[in-house]
Amino acid sequence: MRFTAEALSDGVREQLFTLGDVPGVLWTPEDAAGTRPLILMGHGGGQHKKAPGIVSRARRFVAECQFAAAAVDVPGHGDRPKDEKYDRIVTENQARVEAGEELAPLIAGFQALVARQTVPEWRAVLDAVQELDHVGTGPVGYWGVSLGCGLGVPFVAAEPRVRAAVLGLGGALATAEVAARITVPVEFLVQWDDERVPRTQSLALFDALASAEKSLHANPGKHGEIPAFELDSTLRFFARHLDRRM
Amino acid sequence: MRFTAEALSDGVREQLFTLGDVPGVLWTPEDAAGTRPLILMGHGGGQHKKAPGIVSRARRFVAECQFAAAAVDVPGHGDRPKDEKYDRIVTENQARVEAGEELAPLIAGFQALVARQTVPEWRAVLDAVQELDHVGTGPVGYWGVSLGCGLGVPFVAAEPRVRAAVLGLGGALATAEVAARITVPVEFLVQWDDERVPRTQSLALFDALASAEKSLHANPGKHGEIPAFELDSTLRFFARHLDRRM
Instruction: Answer yes or no: is pLDDT of B1 > 70.
Output: yes
Digit-coded pLDDT (tens) for B51-89: 999 999 999 999 999 999 999 999 999 999 998 999 999
Instruction: Answer yes or no: is pLDDT of B124 > 50.
Output: yes
How many angstroms separate the CA of residue B27 from the nearest CA in chain A? Answer: 28
Q: Do A220 and B229 touch (CB under 8 A)?
A: no
Structure ipTM: 0.89
The reported pLDDT for the residue numbered A245 is 52
Percent of the residues in chain B that have a pLDDT greater than 70, as a whole number = 99
Q: Does domain A2-242 have CATH number 3.40.50.1820?
A: yes
The reported pLDDT for the residue numbered B53 is 96
Domain B2-241: which CATH class? alpha beta
Cβ-count burial A214-231 (b if 16+ within 10 Å, e if not): bbbbbbbeeeeebbebbb
How many angstroms separate the CA of residue B240 from the nearest CA in chain A? Answer: 10
A219 pairs with which residues across the strands? A191
How many angstroms separate the CA of residue B197 from the nearest CA in chain A? Answer: 17
Residue-averaged pLDDT of chain B: 95
* B227 → chain A, closest CA residue: A213
Distance, in Å, from the CA atom of B61 to the CA atom of A96, rounded to the nearest integer, reads: 56
Digit-coded pLDDT (tens) for B179-223: 999 999 999 999 999 998 999 999 999 999 999 999 999 999 999
Digit-coded pLDDT (tens) for A207-229: 999 999 999 999 999 999 999 99
Facing A220 at nearest CB: one of B203, B214, B236? B214
Asked if A133 contacts A127 with a C-beta cutoff of 8 angstroms, the reply is: no
The reported pLDDT for the residue numbered A246 is 44
Distance, in Å, from the CA atom of B103 to the CA atom of B97, rounded to the nearest integer, reads: 6
Facing B215 at nearest CB: one of A203, A207, A219? A219
| Mean pLDDT, rounded, for B157-181 | 92
Residues 6 or more apart whose Cβ sits within 8 Å of residue B71: B24, B25, B40, B41, B42, B43, B49, B50, B54, B58
3-state SS, B223-246, equals CCCCCCHHHHHHHHHHHHHHCCCC
**pLDDT band for position B246 (50/70/90)?**
very low
Digit-coded pLDDT (tens) for A97-138: 999 998 888 888 899 999 999 999 999 999 999 999 999 999
Q: What does DSSP say about strands B68-72 and B22-29: parallel, antiparallel, or unpaired? A: antiparallel
Asked if A80 contacts A18 with a C-beta cutoff of 8 angstroms, the reply is: no
Q: Do A214 and B219 touch (CB under 8 A)?
A: yes
Residue B222, chain A, CB below 8 Å: the answer is: no
**pLDDT band for position A244 (50/70/90)?**
low
| Mean pLDDT, rounded, for B145-157 | 96
**pLDDT band for position B171 (50/70/90)?**
confident
**Positive/negative CA dihedral, B146, B151, B156, B157:** positive
Residue-averaged pLDDT of chain A: 95
Residue B220, chain A, CB below 8 Å: the answer is: yes
How many angstroms separate the CA of residue B57 from the nearest CA in chain A? Answer: 20
**pLDDT band for position B245 (50/70/90)?**
low
Domain boundaries, chain B: 2-241
Q: Side chain identity at B171, as an amino acid letter?
A: G
